[in-house]
């Protein structure tokens, strides 16, 4: 079935870049998303990319999409302690539904 | 935040009691969704609505019902709560194809 895979944990030092990777089996939606979730909070839309784009940059965030390899990545430049959270890769399924990855927990060490 | 309010934010209830969670939106969005989030499962769609009185089932709809009698409110009801329904419930709306989530409702069934 449709699936989204992402690594569960990532640890980086403050000031370094973080790269969170995601692979998916299929995507039928116009958008592919990254959401951020802090402990005890809701899912905050971090950024998204149109399926016909290769790259999107938004301040410290860079999203890369490789449709051929079905690979999506999120790069956070100059990672700060406030970036510590769980990041979800989300794509659209063939039934019009959203398919969520399990989330990558980003830990930022001072 | 796309004008989404969930209530209650936290609730503890006993097995067998009915529970209703409310999602309220202020921006006239047509599509509204209810998800649950559980460790190891990510987010799973319970029910969604594509207009007043128009609803459909998601992947984990058993034990849940929904109603949408007006555009701004989407209600999720657990007719007879069970411990397996202890979870965090998120309402979401679609705005121009972009999905935004509410802050979540933490439900504990004891």
Tell me which chain B residue has its CA closest to the CA of residue A86.
B42
**Interval A82-102: pLDDT, tens:** 999 999 999 887 666 788 999
Residues recorded for chain B: 110
Helix (H, G, I), strand (E, B) or coil at B84: helix
The residue written with tokens 């944990």 in the block is A9
Q: What is the pLDDT along chain B (110 residues), one digit of tens a residue?
A: 568 999 999 999 999 999 999 999 999 999 999 999 998 778 999 999 999 999 999 989 999 999 999 999 999 999 999 999 999 999 999 888 788 999 999 999 99
Residues A87, A35: contact at Cβ < 8 Å? yes
Residues B97, A45: C-beta atoms closer than 8 Å: no
Alpha-carbon torsion, ordered A51, B94, A59, A8, to 10 deg: -80
A35:B90 CB<8 A: no
CA of B28 vs chain A CAs: smallest distance (Å)? 19
């Amino acid at each position: 079935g449709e699936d989204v895979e992402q690594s569960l944990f990532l640890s980086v030092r403050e000031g370094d870049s973080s790269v969170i990777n995601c692979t998916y089996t299929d995507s039928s939606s116009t958008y592919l998303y990254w959401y951020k979730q802090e402990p005890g909070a809701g899912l905050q839309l971090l950024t998204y990319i149109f399926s016909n784009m290769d790259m999107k940059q938004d301040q410290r965030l860079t999203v890369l999409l490789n449709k051929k390899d079905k690979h999506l990545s999120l790069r956070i430049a100059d990672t700060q302690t406030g970036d510590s959270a769980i990041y979800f890769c989300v794509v659209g399924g063939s039934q019009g539904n959203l398919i969520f990855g399990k989330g990558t927990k980003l830990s930022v060490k001072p | 935040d796309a004008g989404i309010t969930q209530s209650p934010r936290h609730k503890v209830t006993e097995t067998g009691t009915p529970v209703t969670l409310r999602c309220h939106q202020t921006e006239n969005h047509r599509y509204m969704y209810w998800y649950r989030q559980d460790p190891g499962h990510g987010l799973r769609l319970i029910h969604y609505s594509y207009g007043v009185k128009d609803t459909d089932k998601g992947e984990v709809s058993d034990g849940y019902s929904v109603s949408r009698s007006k555009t701004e409110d989407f209600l999720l009801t657990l007719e007879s709560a069970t411990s397996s329904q202890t979870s965090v419930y998120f309402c979401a709306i679609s705005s121009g194809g972009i999905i935004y989530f509410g802050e979540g409702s933490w439900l504990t069934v004891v």
